[in-house]
Amino acid sequence: MPKKTKYHSVSEKKKPKKEPVAIAAEKDKAKKIYHLLRGMHDILPKDEKYWQAFYNNAQQLAIYFQFNKIETPLLEEANLFIRSVGRGTDIVDKEMYIFEDRDGAKVALRPEFTASIVRSYITHGMWNSPQPVKLFSWGPLFRHNRPQAGRYREFFQANFEVLGAKDPAIDAELMLTAYNIYAAVGLPVEIRLNNIGSAAERERYVAELTNYYRAKRSYLCDDCRTRLNKNPLRLLDCKEEQCRPVRDEAPQIVDWLDEASRNYFMKTLEFLDELEIPYILSSYLVRGMDYYTGTVFEIYPAFESTPVKEGGNKDEPAAIETAQSALGGGGRYDVLVEEMGGRPTPAAGFALGIERSIAALKQYKEKNPINVATPAYDVYFAQLGEDGKRRALKLINDLKNSGLKIAFNFFKNSLKAQLEAANSMKVPLVLILGQKEVQDQTVIIRDMESGVQETVGQKKMESVLKKKLNKQ
Ligand code: HAM
């Protein structure tokens, strides 16, 4: 007789007894508190008014200057950015979030808008539309750089591009649009600009620049020694103290521009003079992407600020060091569309960094009386009792298309607490709905300034409110 094997059901099997310590550790694990990834940040309700200020003004100016909104995906083929932004740039060499997706495709989270917009212009044959094509975008970008004051791994930009035309007036219009956005939110800024010429002019200049820097190699920081081989133009952009004296003596690109480029530059400046936009000529301004040609510019805060050292509070939009951090930047990129496979299409654009702009605005606001408006409510809806609450929710919903901004809080039940809330929100009118009003199908409208109350039928509520608020 074969020996009988005794099978146990899983539950019968003796499970190893867990030590109490192991159980506690497991429970602790279940309670793990997750933190933000380095360089990421939450946008909190307390900052909403700043975000709204920039978004609303950027959007309104986009409409005024006839830029149409375009949204492109967060994820693109990695090579799109490698080819357009260029190898040897910090973005491509060090900062792109690049990975293989599940199909093995090499993709990247967009580090900037311009390349995606050029791709979209080509994808959709936008050269068939009337030129120039003017596009506005708003959204998050990703760069895996070393987090420090004013530098995040996810950040937002307002981005403007004009494709299909080249004229000093367009460059000036772009700078004007950027300038206007800051003027509208109340932040003084200045524009620093340069002209980095055509590819041929730059090639001659870069040869001269490289010779000059080679002779000074021993005075340079490590990054500049690498730049000397990889991307010599970026030598001019170095922020290290030790490299400054070398840069100050370096040859300047304007001396390598031909007559046409110089004339173009002069005309651009004439437009800026006419528009009374404050600008500074900055012969070392070269920008961080390879695609630029001709006009390049950056926007800086134009007020005294307290420098914040690297490693500033990483959870807050950090204060920024005025001299070091551009709020925005852009320029012409006249050959990029063609290089990316499109027809020859001159183009230009700029992007504003929203976190940095908000940080600068907050800094400026500390010492200067400017008012960044909190979205204002027209009416506070106060309710009393269960019936009042139920009916109030229905009436609030009925008002959703009225254009009125209604505040309410169903966790505050006493009238006193609700009136206090309305008062602190500076709401001009309060609606009060209690048991009696529910039965009578009425509502009380209280004028917060005079304290006068009147009862109106619920059906008339919307029109009476609008009349009182002058929002007919
Ligand atoms: P960009 O200079 O790389 O230009 O970025 C524009 C702005 O985005 C910067 O001035 C800065 O305010 C913000 N920014 C950049 N990196 C970060 C970061 N890591 N954290 C926070 N803010 C940041 C461009 O992106 C070009 N595509 C602009 C352009 C449009 N050129 C032509 N058209």
Distance CA 381, CA 396 (A): 8
pLDDT at 171 over 50: yes
CB distance 317 to ligand 1 below 6 Å: no
Return the residue whose CA atom lies nearest to atom 1 of ligand 1: 329
Under 8 Å CB-to-CB from 469, ≥6 apart: which residues? Answer: 378, 379, 404, 428, 429
Model confidence at 313: pLDDT above 50: no
pLDDT at 26: 72
Mark residue 117 as left, alpha or beta (left: phi above 0; alpha: psi -120 to 50; beta: remaining). alpha
Instruction: Single out the residue of 342, 295, 382, 358 nearest to residue 164, CA to CA.
Output: 342
pLDDT of 264 strictly over 90: yes
CA distance 301 to 390: 50
User: Lowest mean pLDDT: which of 5-19, 45-59, 348-362?
Assistant: 5-19
What's the burial of 432, exposed, middle or buried (CB within 10 Å: 0-12/13-18/19+)? Answer: buried
Residue 253 has pLDDT above 80, yes or no: yes
Mutation choice for ligand 1 from 135, 137, 141, 286, CB with most ligand atoms inside 8 A? 141
Look at ligand 1, atom 18, and give the residue with the nearest C-alpha.
151
Cβ(145) to ligand 1 under 6 A?
yes
Q: In terms of DSSP H, where are the helices of 114-191?
A: 114-123, 168-185
DSSP letter for each residue of 321-383: -TTT--SEEEEE-TTHHHHTTS----EEEEEEEHHHHHHHHHHHHHHS----PPPPPSEEEEE
Q: Is the distance from the beta carbon of residue 330 to the nearest atom of ligand 1 less than 6 Å?
A: yes
Lowest mean pLDDT among 100-104, 232-236, 258-262, 381-385: 232-236
User: Is the Cβ atom of 179 under 6 angstroms away from ligand 1?
Assistant: no
Cβ–Cβ < 8 Å for 186, 357: no
- CA 131 and chain centroid, separation: 27
Q: If you average pLDDT over residues 105-112, what whole number do you get?
A: 98
Query: Residues 153-172: what's their mean pLDDT?
Result: 96
Residue 340 CA to residue 158 CA, distance in Å, equals 23
State the pairing for strand pair 133-142/154-163: antiparallel
Model confidence at 281, pLDDT cuts 50, 70, 90, reads: very high
Q: Is the pLDDT of residue 374 over 80?
A: no
State pTM to two decimals: 0.82
What's the 354 CA to ligand 1 centre distance in angstroms?
Answer: 9
**What are 109's strand-pairing partners?**
75
